[in-house]
C-alpha cells in the first residue's frame, strides 16, 4: 500500500462519480443482499502530519438502492431508516492510526438518531494525476456495524429458525478524492 506522506495537505473532495458507499447484510440466514447509496458528499482534510487528517461525509439515505424497488421503499420506512425523520447518515472522524502498512480510521457514525464510534480498516491506494490536470487519491475502507446498535431493529423470525435479516452489516467504501485547486 501507498504511504500517506505522498498526500499534500489541504482539502480533498470526494468524487462521488468515482466512489462507492456500499453495504452487505445477511438475508434468510443463507445469502447476502448488497446495496449502496448513490447520493453522498464528503471531504478529507489532509494535515501536515497525515495521521492528524480528518474525514467527514454525509449520506442521503433516500438514495439507497439494492436492485429491488420494493425493498428500497421498505428500507426508507420507520421499520428501518425512517428517512422522513432521519434523512441523513453522517460520519465524522475522530482519529487515524497506522496498522502495519494500512490504517484504522475511527469516527462517529450517526444513523437513525444514534451516534456510535466505529473503526474502519483503511487502505490508502495511492495518489496521482488525472487527465484534467488535477490530483486524485484513492482509499478503500470497511467496517462491520450492528443494526440493533443504531435502533434499526426490524426483523421477523423464520419457521426454520433464525431471522429474516442479519444484525451485522458490512460497510464497504471505495473513495476517490480530488485535491482542491
What CATH number corresponds to the domain at position 94? 2.40.128.110
Q: How do 64-65 and 31-37 pair as beta strands?
A: antiparallel
Owning domain of residue 161? 4-179
Give per-residue burial for 69-98: e unless 16+ CB within 10 Å, then b: eeeeeebbeeebbbbeebeebebebeebee
15 near 177, Cβ under 8 Å? yes
The pLDDT tens digits along the chain (181 residues) read 568 888 999 999 999 999 999 999 998 888 899 999 999 999 999 999 999 999 999 999 999 999 999 999 999 999 999 999 999 999 999 999 999 989 999 999 999 999 999 999 999 999 999 998 999 999 999 999 999 999 988 878 888 888 788 889 999 999 999 998 7
Maximum pairwise Cα distance, the chain: 59
Work out the burial of residue 153: count CB atoms within 10 Å of its CB; fewer than 13 is exposed, 13-18 middle, 19 or more buried: middle
The pLDDT, as a whole number, for residue 97 is: 96
127 near 135, Cβ under 8 Å? yes
Long-range contacts of 124-128 (CB under 8 A, 24+ apart): 124/1, 124/2, 124/3, 124/4, 124/7, 125/1, 125/2, 126/2, 126/6, 127/2, 127/6, 127/7
Neighbours of 133 (CB within 10 A): 7
Quote the number of domains for the chain.
1
The dihedral formed by the CA atoms of 70, 73, 79 and 83, expressed in degrees to the nearest 10: 170
170 near 141, Cβ under 8 Å? no
For residue 145, list its beta bridge partners.
169
Amino acid at each position: 500500500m501507498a504511504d500517506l506522506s505522498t498526500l499534500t495537505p489541504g482539502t480533498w473532495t470526494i468524487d462521488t462519480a468515482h466512489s462507492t458507499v456500499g453495504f452487505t447484510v445477511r438475508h434468510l440466514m443463507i445469502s447476502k443482499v448488497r446495496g449502496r447509496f448513490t447520493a453522498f458528499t464528503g471531504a478529507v482534510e489532509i494535515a501536515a502530519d497525515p495521521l492528524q487528517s480528518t474525514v467527514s461525509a454525509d449520506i442521503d439515505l433516500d438514495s439507497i438502492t439494492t436492485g429491488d424497488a420494493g425493498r428500497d421503499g421498505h428500507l426508507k420506512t420507520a421499520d428501518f431508516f425512517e428517512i422522513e425523520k432521519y434523512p441523513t447518515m453522517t460520519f465524522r472522524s475522530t482519529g487515524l492510526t497506522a496498522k502495519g502498512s494500512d490504517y484504522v480510521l475511527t469516527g462517529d457514525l450517526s444513523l437513525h438518531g444514534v451516534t456510535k464510534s466505529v473503526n474502519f480498516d483503511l487502505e490508502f491506494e495511492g495518489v496521482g494525476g488525472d487527465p484534467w490536470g488535477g490530483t486524485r487519491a484513492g482509499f478503500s475502507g470497511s467496517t462491520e456495524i450492528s443494526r440493533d446498535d443504531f435502533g434499526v431493529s426490524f426483523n421477523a423470525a423464520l419457521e426454520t429458525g433464525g431471522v429474516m435479516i442479519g444484525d451485522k452489516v458490512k460497510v464497504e467504501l471505495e473513495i476517490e478524492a480530488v485535491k482542491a485547486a
